[in-house]
Amino acid sequence: MSDLVVRDLRLQRERVVILDAGSADFPSGRRTVLWGPSGAGKSTLLAAIAGLLTPRSGTIQLGSRVFFSQADNIDVPPYRRGIGFVFQDLALWPHLSALAHVHLVGRPAGLTKSDAAALLESVGLIGLGDRRPGHLSGGEQQRLAIARALAAKPSVLMLDEPFSSVDRKTKESLYQLLRDLSPRVPGPTIYVTHQTDDAASLAEAVVTIEAGRLTMRSGERPWERGE
């Protein structure tokens, strides 16, 4: 198990600086809530960790594995980083069944169709493997997106506000699902949100991002103070 370490990271979109020399640790085996207001750069940071956005400088490292280092000219491509990603809009493929979603992503890691079916069952989608996303409820789509992210046996799991569009009862069941599943991930689980109920239900550690800065909050819960 390895911590994810971000050091002196500078992120920029076009000419706008999103993060200025930010540093933080995301502990392995724990759910870290990445907290901050809308537009603070939470999704941008996830994109950089996943390799979907190239930082201007700094390092991103998981244990001894360096994902990005501007100084050493290292930029590992996304497919080699071992990161499971649940996007805010889920990004499910409308033409594929639930089983095909999971099997397609997991096959390079040795996941069989039987394994994929078992993974669907583990997230509460028993008997729904043949359904396409359009024939699943909102909560079922969330569960499918989580199963797909776990299919490749990732070292890091990242979720970008995926529960924002479901009702409270469905959210509660998804919180419990994530609490049950995150210990399977050897590295950190990072959950982006600016919703107090998400943060209060899931946070085991907290990193905040605001005004271009990252801050590790040891034992603090900034949403309780209205931050």
The answer to whether domain 1-24+37-83 and domain 85-154+163-186 are alike in fold is: yes
77 to each of 144, 198, 219, how far by Cα in Å?
25, 30, 34
In the chain, where are the structural domains located?
1-24+37-83, 85-154+163-186
State the Cα–Cα distance between residues 208 and 99, nearest whole angstrom: 36
- pLDDT tens-digit profile of 158-181? 999 888 778 888 899 999 999 999
State the Cα–Cα distance between residues 116 and 97, nearest whole angstrom: 12
Q: What is the reported pLDDT for 13?
A: 84
Strand arrangement, sheet containing 83-86: 83-86, 156-160, 189-193, 31-35, 205-210, 213-217
**pLDDT band (50, 70, 90) for residue 223:** confident
- pLDDT tens-digit profile of 178-212? 999 999 899 999 999 988 999 999 999 999 998 88
**High-pLDDT (> 70) share of the chain, %:** 97
Q: Any residues with CB less than 8 A from the CB of 84 and at least 6 apart, and which? A: 149, 150, 151, 152, 154, 156, 157, 158, 185
| Token couple for 57 | 């400088």
Report long-range pairs for 90-95 (Cβ below 8 Å, ≥24 apart): 90/133, 90/141, 90/142, 90/144, 90/145, 90/162, 91/145, 92/133, 92/141, 92/144, 92/145, 92/148, 93/133, 94/132, 94/133, 94/134, 95/132
- Residue whose token pair is 């805010």: 88
Mean pLDDT, rounded, for 15-38: 91
Which CATH number, 3.30.350.10, 3.40.630.10, 3.40.50.300, 3.40.50.20, labels domain 1-24+37-83?
Answer: 3.40.50.300
31 to each of 43, 89, 131, how far by Cα in Å?
17, 21, 30
Residue 226 has pLDDT above 80, yes or no: no
Q: What is the reported pLDDT for 227?
A: 61
- pLDDT tens-digit profile of 112-144? 999 999 999 999 999 999 999 999 999 999 999
Q: What is the reported pLDDT for 29?
A: 92
Work out whether strand 205-210 and strand 31-35 pair parallel, antiparallel, or are unpaired. Answer: parallel
Q: How high is the mean pLDDT of the chain? A: 92
Contact 55, 9 (CB under 8 A): yes
State the Cα–Cα distance between residues 203 and 193, nearest whole angstrom: 10
CATH code of 85-154+163-186, in short, is 3.40.50.300
Mean pLDDT, rounded, for 75-101: 94
Alpha-carbon Rg of the chain, whole angstroms?
A: 17
